[in-house]
């Protein structure tokens, strides 16, 4: 209704922008006018979207986003192929890589098991995971500590353990710099549960 007075291509652009997460019609309008005022930025953004759609695909091994197949991590011989870290989304790989601590390889599930949303193991990349377990000694479950993340970790662990693979879960507790006063009960309970000897 707000777009009534805009010419159609502009209304379409606002509608397209407001389909992005966290961008409402008002912000979309502001962005659309900005793009029209800055045609070079607009042109390069449209190109970048097309280019990403054309050239980014899922790595056939780890299912992470890549522009070469297999991806740079899967094809690197500096990575420990006996250690596999399973994450929900491609962006989780980037978060883990930023730490520069992990030297193994990754597997991206592209979601978590969520019966409410009709997502079962078949919708995830579990088949690809089962195909690449040769020589893997430890699998780290790095799903988010949500109900669905925990359920997915449990499900995979029940498949992997009988195969003689060590299955671990990333630690949950107080974030570094966090404060007991502001932490929720579940986090504190997890921090107590996971306490270590000094």
Chain residues in the site for its own copies (CB under 8 A): 2, 4-10, 12-13, 15-17, 19-22, 27, 29-36, 39, 41-56, 65-68, 71-72, 89-91, 93-94, 97-98
**Residue 186 Cβ vs its own copies, minimum distance, rounded to whole Å:** 25
Judged by beta carbon, residue 51 or residue 82, the one nearer its own copies is 51
Whether 113 contacts 91, CB under 8 Å: no
- Rounded (10°) CA dihedral 11, 14, 16, 17: 180
Closest CB to its own copies among 12 and 193?
A: 12
How near is the Cβ of 182 to its own copies at its closest, in Å?
21
Taking the least distance from each CB to its own copies, the nearer of 37 and 127 is 37
Give the separation between CA 184 and CA 180, rounded to whole angstroms: 8
* Cβ 89 to its own copies shortest distance, Å: 7
C-alpha triplet 184, 185, 191: angle, nearest 5°: 95
191 contacts 172 by C-beta, under 8 angstroms: yes
Least distance to its own copies, CB of residue 159, Å: 25
- Structure tokens that stand for 12 in this block: 């379409």
**Cβ closest to its own copies, residue 3 vs residue 153:** 3
Question: Pairing mode, if any, of strands 80-87 and 138-141?
Answer: parallel
């Amino acid at each position: 209704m707000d777009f009534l007075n805009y010419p159609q291509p502009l209304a379409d652009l606002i509608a397209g922008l407001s389909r992005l997460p966290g961008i409402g019609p008002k912000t979309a309008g502001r962005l659309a006018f900005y793009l029209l005022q800055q045609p070079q930025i607009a042109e390069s953004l449209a190109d970048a979207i097309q280019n990403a759609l054309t050239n980014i695909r899922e790595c056939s091994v780890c299912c992470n986003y890549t522009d070469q197949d297999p991806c740079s991590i899967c094809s690197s011989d500096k990575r420990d192929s006996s250690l596999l870290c399973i994450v929900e989304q491609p962006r989780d790989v980037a978060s883990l890589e930023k730490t520069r601590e992990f030297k193994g390889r990754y597997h991206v599930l592209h979601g978590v098991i969520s019966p409410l949303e009709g997502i079962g193991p078949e919708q995830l990349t579990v088949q690809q995971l089962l195909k690449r377990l040769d020589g893997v000694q430890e699998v780290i479950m790095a799903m988010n500590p949500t109900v669905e993340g925990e359920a997915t970790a449990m499900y995979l662990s029940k498949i992997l353990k009988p195969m003689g693979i060590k299955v671990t879960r990333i630690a949950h507790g107080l974030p570094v710099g966090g404060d007991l006063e502001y932490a929720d009960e579940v986090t504190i309970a997890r921090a107590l549960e996971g306490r270590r000897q000094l």
